[in-house]
Chains A and B, each alone.
Chain A
Amino acid sequence: MTRRRIEPLVWLTFSGGGVTAAMFLPVLAFLFALAFPLGLITPPSRAHLFDILHNPLTFLVLLGMFTVMLVHAAHRFRYTLYDGLQLKWTWQIAVICYGGALFGAASAFVILGGVF
Chain B
Amino acid sequence: MASTITLSVTRWRPDRSMPPGPQEYEVPLRKEWTVLDGLNHIKNEIDQTLAFRWSCRMGICGSCGMNVNGEPRLTCGAFLSDYAPGPIRVEPLANFPIARDLIVDMSDFMEKLPRVKPWVIRDDDVTEIDGEYLQTPEELDAYKQFSMCINCMLCYAACPVYGLDPDFVGPAAIALAERYDLDSRDHGARERLDVLIEHEGVWGCTFVGECTRVCPKHVDPAGAIQRYKLKAAQQTVKAFLLPRAMR
Contacts and interface: CB of A to CB of B under 8 A. Distances in A.
Contact-residue size bin, chain B (C-beta under 8 Å from the other chain): 20 to 34
Interface string B218-247: 000000000001001101110110000011
Contacts of B232: 5, 8
B206 A79 contact: yes
A2 B237 CA distance: 12
B236 A8 contact: yes
Contacts of B236: 2, 4-5, 8-9
A51 interface: no
A4 B232 CA distance: 11
Interface in A1-49: 1-5, 7-9, 11-12
Interface of B is mostly: helix
B80 to A, nearest CB: 35
A92 interface: no
Interface of A is mostly: helix
A95 to B, nearest CB: 15
A83 B206 contact: yes
Interface of B: 160-161, 164-165, 190, 193-194, 197, 199, 203, 206, 229, 232-233, 235-237, 239-240, 246-247
A2 B190 contact: yes
B239 A1 contact: yes
Contact of A2 (B161, B229, B239): B239
6 A-B pairs closest in CB distance = A8-B236, A8-B233, A12-B233, A8-B232, A79-B206, A7-B203
Contact of B197 (A7, A82, A83): A7
Given A79-B206, A83-B161, A11 B233 contact: yes
Given A79-B206, A82-B164, A83-B161, A9 B233 contact: yes
Contacts of A12: 233, 237
Given A12-B237, A79-B206, A1 B160 contact: no
A32 to B, nearest CB: 30
B233 A86 contact: no
B235 A11 contact: no
